[in-house]
Amino acid sequence: MDARIFIAGLLALFCFASCSYQDVDITDIRKFRVNSMGSDRLYFSFDVHIDNPNSYPLKVSSSDLEMEINRVNFGKLYLEEPVQVPKKFKGYVIVQSSVSAEKAGSNLISVLVGSLISQSLDVRLHGKVRGGSGMFTKNFDVDHREKVAFDGNIRPR
């Protein structure tokens, strides 16, 4: 084996071994907003408090999350744009997302009317999100339930 290849491999192994990963925590969801309703999708956003103790930024670009509102399943949550989490970050990031209006449609009116009275939503996200830095990605398990203030504003698309 060529000595240069061996040294390069050893150096790469050392670099990967020195990369440590610490768990990222979701501690709060707030400011749930229904941005618009289209014929096929319900678009909304919310702020998520994330604690990223790692020394590198993370990008969440896909999810396999189910969304429940007031214990009613609204189906799979789609990220409308990637979520960027800076390194050593502890704060709120805005998540732009949507669900299928077909799945949400029959439940949407009853959930929103009930939420207008209580001025809150019980939001649960559960499943996995895929995030990482560069070509190193990892699936993160998510199971978070939070009562979120809701003022009833909806802008039709």
Q: What is the pLDDT of residues 141-156, one digit of tens each?
A: 888 887 877 766 655 4
Q: What pLDDT score was predicted for residue 109?
A: 66
pTM of the predicted structure, to 2 decimals? 0.70
CB atoms within 10 A of CB 122: 16
User: Does position 92 have pLDDT exceeding 90, yes or no?
Assistant: yes
Whole-number average pLDDT of the chain: 77
**Which value, to the nearest 10 degrees, does the dihedral of the CA atoms of residues 69, 71, 74, 78 take?**
60
List pLDDT tens digits, range 93-130.
999 998 886 766 666 667 767 776 677 778 888 898 88
| pLDDT range class, residue 21, cuts 50, 70, 90 | low
> What structural domains and CATH numbers belong to the chain?
22-156 (2.60.40.10)
User: Does position 2 have pLDDT exceeding 80, yes or no?
Assistant: no
List pLDDT tens digits, range 53-83.
888 888 888 788 888 888 888 888 889 999 9
Q: What pLDDT score was predicted for residue 6?
A: 52
What is the rounded distance in angstroms from the CA atom of residue 12 to the CA atom of residue 66? 38
Largest CA distance in the chain: 73
